[in-house]
């Protein structure tokens, strides 16, 4: 059976893209993923993830989607979309590309039944077996592999952004370096920011009000 695991990286940051990845292998290849040592990407060092990235790609079919901030903002401003539905659309796109018989998904939504139904509507193969679980990347090797591809790709995108705009930290709102960068640069490099995020809106509103006061 052709099995596909899906996971994402970069759901919460204020800077940079969301990355959604799918890894498809025949079930007989699962022992090879175990030999590589795949785990949830958060449990691995950067060096381990980088090494496994190439090994996973060498033994699997995979598809990686980079969702830029502009597309994320558009989804959040759309009356019929939200971040979960956007992620569902991207996961369905990956499933349709890789054409597995079974897909195991690290579910982004707390409402798994509703998310499953939404996903089914977008998938071409109506006979596909779907398994959606929270923390699937900790339980299933094929999801762990997808989490590694997503995380490494996201990290590389952040490095590309840093080469362009300077050190913006990890991109997460909780990172002091990122907060300092947003405060200084919120009105520059708009393409790297998720302008629908509360942190961005707060800085932008504060700066605008200060400018009006100065005026």
Of the pLDDT bands very low, low, confident and very high (cuts 50, 70, 90), residue 214 is low
Taking the whole predicted model, whether its pTM rises above 0.85 is answered as: yes
CA 198/CA 168 separation, integer angstroms: 18
Residue range 136-146, pLDDT digits in tens? 999 999 999 99
CATH number, domain at 206?
Answer: 1.10.10
Q: Are 52 and 198 in contact (CB under 8 A)?
A: no
Last residue of a domain, one of 141, 163, 185: 163
Question: What is the residue range of 173's domain?
Answer: 165-214
Q: At what angle do helices 83-98 and 112-122 cross, to 10 degrees?
A: 50
Phi, psi of 205 (to 5 degrees): -65, -40
Q: In terms of domains, do 104 and 193 share one?
A: no
Last residue of a domain, one of 139, 163, 187: 163
What pLDDT does residue 204 have? 82
CA 9/CA 7 separation, integer angstroms: 7
Reported as half-sphere exposure (CB side, CA atoms, 13 A), residue 175 has a value of: 14
CA 128/CA 40 separation, integer angstroms: 24
Supply the Cα-derived Rg of the chain in whole angstroms: 19
């Amino acid at each position: 059976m052709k099995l596909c695991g899906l996971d994402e990286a970069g759901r919460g940051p204020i800077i940079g893209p969301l990355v959604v990845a799918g890894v498809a292998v025949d079930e007989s290849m699962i022992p090879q993923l175990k030999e590589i040592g795949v785990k949830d990407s958060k449990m691995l060092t950067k060096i381990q993830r980088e090494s496994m990235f190439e090994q996973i790609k060498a033994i699997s079919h995979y598809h990686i989607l980079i969702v830029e901030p502009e597309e994320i903002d558009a989804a959040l401003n759309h009356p019929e979309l939200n971040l979960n539905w956007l992620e569902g659309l991207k996961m369905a796109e990956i499933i349709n590309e890789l054409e597995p018989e079974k897909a195991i998904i690290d579910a982004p939504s707390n409402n798994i039944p509703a998310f499953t139904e939404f996903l089914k509507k977008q998938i071409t193969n109506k006979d596909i077996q779907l398994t959606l679980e929270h923390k699937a990347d900790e339980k299933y090797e094929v999801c762990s592999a997808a989490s590694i591809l997503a995380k490494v790709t996201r990290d590389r995108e952040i490095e590309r952004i840093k080469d362009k705009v300077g050190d913006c930290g990890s991109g997460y709102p909780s990172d002091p370096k990122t907060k300092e960068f947003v405060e200084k640069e919120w009105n520059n490099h708009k393409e790297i920011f998720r302008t629908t995020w509360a942190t961005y809106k707060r800085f932008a509103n504060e700066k605008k009000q200060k400018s009006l006061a100065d005026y």
